[in-house]
Amino acid sequence: MKFIELFLVFLKIGAVSFGGGYAMIPFFETEMVSHNWVSLTDYVKVIAIAQVVPGPFAVDSSSYIGFKVAGILGALIATIALCIPSFTASVIITKFYAQFKTNKYVNALLMGVRPAVLGLLISAAYIIGIKPLYQVSNTLISWTMLKAIIVIGIGYYVLNQKKVKIGTFTFIVATAVVGIISF
């Protein structure tokens, strides 16, 4: 049953995706590709569109994938399932916050998962930046790939320079223009 499958998969992603944000990309990618729900080519389009939609992009992902699989009800089920673990954990932790804060085992677990989150983020950068281009040309060494790496590098530099503060929205519009000019 499509709905149950959607529900279980997104419940699982919600429960294990420590780090949130971009660190969730590898989870979405793995599940949608292995279930044959959405292709990476389509998913990265959604990520591009999500940049101009407010709110967490995990919800962009769940509603799009859910919609693709089973219409508006699928979108709703995927999104709700994704939020259930966060919601439950947040309620419990607010209730017992005082005990949690000082418990060394809780801290050991929460700190222990962080290096893995770093790995998830690095792999997310590969999935979004390099893999789609790799799938088109089937080689890592090409003129396009070099241009892509240069654009990523310049983007990273712009984000980290201290002189001019650039909002995310402006940054995204600028990268769209750079894309049109240089690809």
Residue 142 as a binder of other proteins (CB under 8 A): the answer is no
Here's the x/- map for other proteins, 149-168, by CB under 8 A: it reads as --xxxxxx-xxx------xx
Residue 60 as a binder of other proteins (CB under 8 A): the answer is yes
Residue 30 as a binder of other proteins (CB under 8 A): the answer is yes
Interatomic CA distance for residues 132 and 138, integer angstroms: 10
Interatomic CA distance for residues 99 and 46, integer angstroms: 41
Provide the token pair at 123.
């792999």
Contact with other proteins (CB under 8 A): which of 3, 5, 142, 171? 171
Interatomic CA distance for residues 116 and 53, integer angstroms: 28
Residue 7 as a binder of other proteins (CB under 8 A): the answer is no
Q: How far is the CB of 1 from other proteins (least distance, A)?
A: 21
Residue with token string 């044959």:
36
Contact with other proteins (CB under 8 A): which of 7, 27, 37, 38? 27
Residue 102 as a binder of other proteins (CB under 8 A): the answer is no
Residue 33 as a binder of other proteins (CB under 8 A): the answer is no
Decide whether 20 or 139 has the Cβ nearer to other proteins.
20
**Residues in region 62-101 near other proteins by CB under 8 A:** 63-64, 67, 72, 75-76, 79, 82-83, 85-87, 89-91, 93-95, 97
Q: How far is the CB of 166 from other proteins (least distance, A)?
A: 11
- Nearest-CA neighbor of 167 among 6, 51, 48? 51
Residue with token string 């990520």:
47
Interatomic CA distance for residues 123 and 129, integer angstroms: 10
Contact with other proteins (CB under 8 A): which of 8, 73, 99, 114? 114
Provide the token pair at 12.
């699982």
Interatomic CA distance for residues 123 and 134, integer angstroms: 14
Residue with token string 């890592």:
140
